A and B are shown apart, each in its own frame.
Chain A
Amino acid sequence: MTDQLISARAVRKAYGRTEALRGVSLDISAGEKLAITGPSGSGKSTLLLSLAGILRPEAGEISYDGRRLDDLSEAERTRLRRREFGVVLQFGQLVPELTAVENVALPLMLERHARASADRIARGWLERLDAGALADVVPGELSGGEAQRVALARALVTSPRVIFADEPTGALDTVAGEQVLVALYDAAKETGAAIVMVTHDNRVAARADREVRMLDGTIA
């Protein structure tokens, strides 16, 4: 019995002739907060997207909860991502035409939740992230910090076991970034979710349980 949730072995990924990952092996435990750091172009985001099943590596194995991701069909991978993973990117990537609560409810609607139920759960998550007052606001009227709180709520709404975050505070000032990060960590602690986060920010890395430092496509 192991508490390893994600396991990567000798993972390789290239873009054309450029090798982004050159044999990366890594284990991530349930509930762990992991920071992936390193210089630009070192393969951080490629590793994150590969672990999240969004990119398919050319070689190596990635397993989630004992299941090989490369054995899954595209539909199964999509279902896994919707149910088990939450994703937060640097600029929130909210759907501009939808209100905050509709954005948060979206993953539930895709999982065929009834509209009223999805709306109720989404509002609950916005409340937990101190963003309840923003529920009916569209993304264009939100500040950067507010948009990231909404994006966090959307990532958390399905109660994922892993949250993948790529520079979630990269576009925010010190105080707003800290508030978003603390909100993310508090929510993950409450739900027991693991966090895998790419960051250039040492303060963010220092708040993680462990740091993995990438250098030229390998773990330094």
Chain B
Amino acid sequence: MPGRSLSARCPVSCVDLLRSTDSVQDYSLSVFTVCIVADVSISHVLLGVLSSGPAHGYDLKREHDIRFPGAKELPYGQVYAALQRLERDGLVEVAETVRDGGPERTVYALTESGRAELDTWLASPESAGPYPADELVRKAVTALRTGVDARSFLARQREVHLARLRELLAAQDATTDPAGRAAIDHAVFHLDADLRWLEAAEGRLNAPSSSNHQGDPS
């Protein structure tokens, strides 16, 4: 059975879904999870890991966390939910079931359809944005708008970002795997972009023309 495209299975984005929902009970956990998983391409990442050979859920989770050390660790539940959907859609199949003295584990393998889906995904460039304003931007702009100790806020935020940057660089130094280093580069460059944005905000605060706008509630 040919696999369906993941985007075709989730016609409504999570944002639209949440906006159109009147109460929490109106959307089921499975619908919510499908959309979240599809949005962050976890399923495709799992297909990518399986392209190296069959693996069970625990190995997939572990490999994901190794490949993307700058990202949040992947919850087991999300892995198994994604595998079930991939199997349902014919993109992966059960290769074998093993029991090494412990609980039974299902080993999954990539199907031909799964490989085709992976190739299609890898051939398509990602959107360049726009990116939603996150808590950092909201807080910093509020600090700049109110003029209340904005410099101290920016300095403290810089410290937090630098501390995280140190952690990532230490993790990068600890690995010699080029793909692993590249994955950390991505997180490092985003932090660097945030830091440069904080510097620019600091510069705006110190520029003579900015004084007219401090505390401007408009």
User: Is B116 in contact with chain A by the CB < 8 A criterion?
Assistant: no
Instruction: Please give me the residue from chain B that is nearest to A181 by CB atom.
Output: B169
Cα–Cα, bound, A122→B27 (Å)? 71
Smallest CB–CB gap between A207 and chain B, Å?
6
Cα–Cα, bound, A211→B165 (Å)? 13
Stretch at the interface among A69-77, A132-140, A198-206: A198-206
Inter-chain contacts of B151 with A (CB < 8 A): 220
Stretch at the interface among B43-51, B59-67, B192-200: B192-200
Cβ proximity bits A31-67 to B, threshold 8 Å, 1 near / 0 not: 0000000010000000000000000000000000000
User: Is A2 in contact with chain B by the CB < 8 A criterion?
Assistant: no
| Total contacts A-B at CB 8 Å | 31
Q: Are B203 and A39 in contact, with the CB atoms below 8 A?
A: yes
Instruction: Please give me the residue from chain B that is nearest to A202 by CB atom.
Output: B195
User: Is A95 in contact with chain B by the CB < 8 A criterion?
Assistant: no
Q: Are A174 and B185 in contact, with the CB atoms below 8 A?
A: yes
Q: Are A182 and B173 in contact, with the CB atoms below 8 A?
A: yes
Q: Are B203 and A206 in contact, with the CB atoms below 8 A?
A: no
Classify chain B's interface size.
10 to 19
User: Is A216 in contact with chain B by the CB < 8 A criterion?
Assistant: yes
Cα–Cα, bound, A220→B196 (Å)? 16
User: Is B95 in contact with chain A by the CB < 8 A criterion?
Assistant: no
User: Is B162 in contact with chain A by the CB < 8 A criterion?
Assistant: yes
Cα–Cα, bound, A220→B155 (Å)? 9
Give the residue of B166, B185, B202, B206 whose beta carbon is less than 8 angstroms from that of A206. Answer: B166
User: Is B188 in contact with chain A by the CB < 8 A criterion?
Assistant: yes
Smallest CB–CB gap between A53 and chain B, Å?
29
On whether A207 and B169 interact (CB within 8 A), knowing A39-B199, A216-B206, the answer reads yes
Inter-chain contacts of B191 with A (CB < 8 A): 202
Smallest CB–CB gap between A60 and chain B, Å?
24
Cβ proximity bits B149-180 to A, threshold 8 Å, 1 near / 0 not: 00100010010011001100100010000000
Inter-chain contacts of A205 with B (CB < 8 A): 162
Q: Are A206 and B199 in contact, with the CB atoms below 8 A?
A: no
Inter-chain contacts of A39 with B (CB < 8 A): 199, 202-203
Q: Which residues of A185-220 have CB atoms within 8 Å of chain B's CB atoms?
A: 202-203, 205-207, 211, 213, 215-216, 220
9 tightest Cβ-Cβ pairs between the two chains A and B: A206-B165, A202-B195, A206-B166, A202-B192, A206-B162, A39-B203, A206-B169, A207-B169, A203-B192
* Extra 5 A-B pairs, beta carbons < 8 Å, given A203-B192, A206-B162, A207-B166: A202-B191, A202-B196, A205-B162, A206-B166, A213-B155
| Chain A to chain B contacts (Cβ below 8 Å), 17 pairs | A39-B199, A174-B185, A182-B173, A202-B162, A202-B165, A202-B192, A202-B195, A202-B196, A203-B165, A205-B162, A206-B162, A206-B165, A206-B166, A207-B169, A213-B155, A220-B151, A220-B155
Task: Tell me the B residues contacting A by CB distance below 8 Å.
Answer: 151, 155, 158, 161-162, 165-166, 169, 173, 185, 188, 191-192, 195-196, 199, 202-203, 206
